[in-house]
Amino acid sequence: MSATAANQFDIACREFVELITDYLDGALDSITAASVERHLALCSHCVMYVGQMRETISAAGHIPVE
């Protein structure tokens, strides 16, 4: 993977992290949700992040707005 491709992937991950709360809440439009799911199909790191978020939500009961 070239440095440019790696940087583009990192940007996609950062965008993913910004969307995760809305994704888990089911608040994304269908096109954005599909983009998130495509990203998850390609990125094991973000899959782990989603798992951690789900565990946190389960333990805390919700995601605080702050």
Asked whether residue 17 is domain-assigned, the answer is yes
Region of 41 please: left (phi>0), alpha (psi -120 to 50) or beta.
alpha
Asked whether residue 66 is domain-assigned, the answer is no
Nearest-angstrom CA–CA distance, 47 and 64? 21
> Of 57 and 37, which is predicted with more confidence?
37
Nearest-angstrom CA–CA distance, 14 and 52? 16
| Total domains, the chain | 1
Q: What is the mean pLDDT of residues 1-27?
A: 73
Which residue range(s) make up the domain with 41?
3-60
Burial degree of 41 (CB within 10 A; 0-12, 13-18, 19+): exposed
Chain centroid, CA 36 distance in Å: 6
Asked whether residue 65 is domain-assigned, the answer is no
Query: 47-62, pLDDT tens digit by residue?
Result: 999 999 999 888 877 6
